[in-house]
Amino acid sequence: MEKMEHFSHIHPLLLKQEKIDNNNLVLCSGCENPISGPVFSCDKCNYILHKTCAEMARHVKHPFHPQHPLVLLSTSPYEGRYICDSCRGLFRNFVYHCYICSYDLDVSCASQCNPDDGHKHEFMSVTNPKSFVCYACGLQGNEGLACLCTICQIWVHSSCAELPLAVRIKSHDHPLKLTYDLHHIYGFWGSITCGVCNGAMSAAFAGYFCSTCRFPVHLKCLQEDLRDEWEAAAEDEKSSTYYETDESLDIDFTYSFFGHEHLLKLKDEESDLRYSGKLCDGCSQPIMPPLFSCEEENCGFILHQSCVELPRTTLHPFHAHPLTLLPKAPNYDGIYRCDGCKRLSNGFVYRCDVCQFDLDVCCGSLQERIEHESHVHPLLLKKTTVARQCKGCHRWSKHVFVCEVCEDFAIDCGCATLPRGAWCMYDKHPLSLNYFAEGLREYECGICNEKTCPKQWFYYCDDCDYGAHPYCVEGKSRLVKFGGSFQYDVHSHPLALVEEIDQNTKCEACGECCNGWTLECGQCKIYFHREGQCFWKQFKKSAKYLELSGITRHRYAANVLTSTPNI
């Protein structure tokens, strides 16, 4: 008998086939309608759910409220019943709720969206609209021609509004339908793999999909393959057939992106070595084509395709409020410490301004269920009420992956995202991450010269008998991209963040030698500390700090302090 753990109830629910009994009316605890057909019920109490209600997605992007994702709650978020903003009915149980706008949909109204329908309302062309995020492709739109659906109140690029409802490709046997709700089909908001280019595509936005084979395709892959092998087809609603057409889609691959002032261009030359060793400005991870690059000469802004397609808002297990994607953290120079993995970063940030809560792109995009080599059972992503000790580093954290079979197993986000292999400047061979060190002798870390604990994970080279702590191999700069151009109060010209300079270089502010992170002026060839007590003293003289007062100043200073190494 099928059993499930459901977020709305403390006991496991069992799948049963119920018969309609008109003499004993039983209501579903979710939609509040009479029970019929298969149900999930609790043997210990009277809790019962339609199978369809039990399997509803926790998060949806709905055309009735396209501005923000809706989260499924088991009870009304208000005192007493809630009013559905669609049908105006009164309900007390399941509700799709927007925390930002206090918008509510009962489960019946929320189910009126068929993901296979594409978008069949008429779009109205609007010239020079205000800035908007395209509901189809998820990219920013600022100027020129855009399209608005006055029924659903959603904005799309003019090129996206012209997408056909169905297409055929020679590499697939069935027609593909346009859907705006891939997350509804797959049941989550993370990344899925495009069946054409094998690249990551976001379930939060539109794509083409074969419901027979569960075969998804990027919108952008249409234009790339239409030149030689795609045949466009439009859906004939009356006969449910598809016809061929020679029309091609004019999709512009130069984008205006919300996190950058210049236009971005898709670069797909995989053999292009210009990007070797460079980092993405979104996730601060190594990057190679295909990627998006700034068209402005000497700008250097580059993004993974997956970072371009990141959802602008997300609901995460680590935090009760929706998180908003920002291209730069509102700290002194965009450097912040992720509340998930505790690493420093200056890339994009998922942020809750109410709680000053920050997640980097890697932690913000973590799947809720993973398979990890360190453990035999699947691990679930949770924020626990009591701190758990990580099996990898033995530090305590409430933001962990836990095993529901083995009660004592947990790993934090920092250890869960460690690369399986790594390079170290002190060893010419790649290092392998070791999870199980029982029976092995103690090693001395080749970087900090301290002993490694046999019960903690460590990196090891078999050829050289060389071991090192993961945090020593990673360093403090793994997710920090150096360079750039920032305006600091300590100097009239923009300064760049650099990691290593000549040890004899003097700080212009204190006269001491600059060690570690340093701020460099390319015009004057002078330097300032970016860490340590010198930077902290200069920060407290900044105009931004002095214009604040009370608790606001305290919070701002605390954010900068946690993101500044070696204070």
Q: How far is CA 98 from CA 68, 105, 140, in A?
A: 7, 9, 22
What percentage of residues in the chain have a pLDDT greater than 70? Answer: 82
Q: How many helices and strands, by DSSP H and E, does the chain display? A: 12, 45
Contact (CB, 8 A) for 325 and 298 = no
* C-alpha–C-alpha distance, residues 444 and 438, integer Å: 16
Contact (CB, 8 A) for 267 and 294 = no
* Cis peptide, bond prior to residue 286, ω within 30 of zero: no
Q: What are 58-74's pLDDT values in tens digits? A: 877 776 776 677 888 88
* C-alpha–C-alpha distance, residues 516 and 532, integer Å: 9
Quote the tokens at residue 508: 């212009």
Does the pLDDT at position 164 exceed 60? yes
Helix axis angle, 550-562 to 532-539, nearest 10°:
150
Residue range 291-302: mean pLDDT, rounded: 82
* C-alpha–C-alpha distance, residues 386 and 382, integer Å: 11
pLDDT score for 253: 46
pLDDT band (50, 70, 90) for residue 242: very low
* C-alpha–C-alpha distance, residues 30 and 172, integer Å: 39
Does the pLDDT at position 50 exceed 70? yes
143-157, 227-241, 268-282, 356-370 — which is least confidently predicted? Answer: 227-241
Instruction: Provide the 8-state DSSP code for 328.
Output: S
Q: What are 375-417's pLDDT values in tens digits? A: 888 899 888 888 899 988 888 998 999 988 888 899 999 898 8
pLDDT score for 6: 86
Average pLDDT, the chain: 78
Q: Model-level pTM? A: 0.55
Residue range 291-295: mean pLDDT, rounded: 83
* C-alpha–C-alpha distance, residues 293 and 253, integer Å: 11
Q: Is the dihedral of CA 329, 332, 334, 340 positive or negative?
A: negative
Count CA within 13 A, CB hemisphere, residue 152.
24
pLDDT score for 121: 65
Count of positions (residues) in the chain: 567
165-169, 459-463, 481-485 — which is least confidently predicted? Answer: 165-169
Closest CA to 33 of 112, 97, 106, 110: 106
* C-alpha–C-alpha distance, residues 321 and 128, integer Å: 33
pLDDT score for 185: 65
* C-alpha–C-alpha distance, residues 513 and 342, integer Å: 28
Residue range 11-23: mean pLDDT, rounded: 71
pLDDT score for 237: 35
Secondary structure, 3-state, 39-105: EEECCCCCCEEEHHHHCCCCEEEECCEEEEEEEEECCCCCCCCEECCCCCCEECCCEEEECCCCEEE
Does the pLDDT at position 108 exceed 50? yes
Does the pLDDT at position 99 exceed 80? no
End-to-end CA distance of the chain: 58
Instruction: Name the helix (H) or strand (E) containing 358.
Output: strand 357-360
pLDDT score for 243: 34
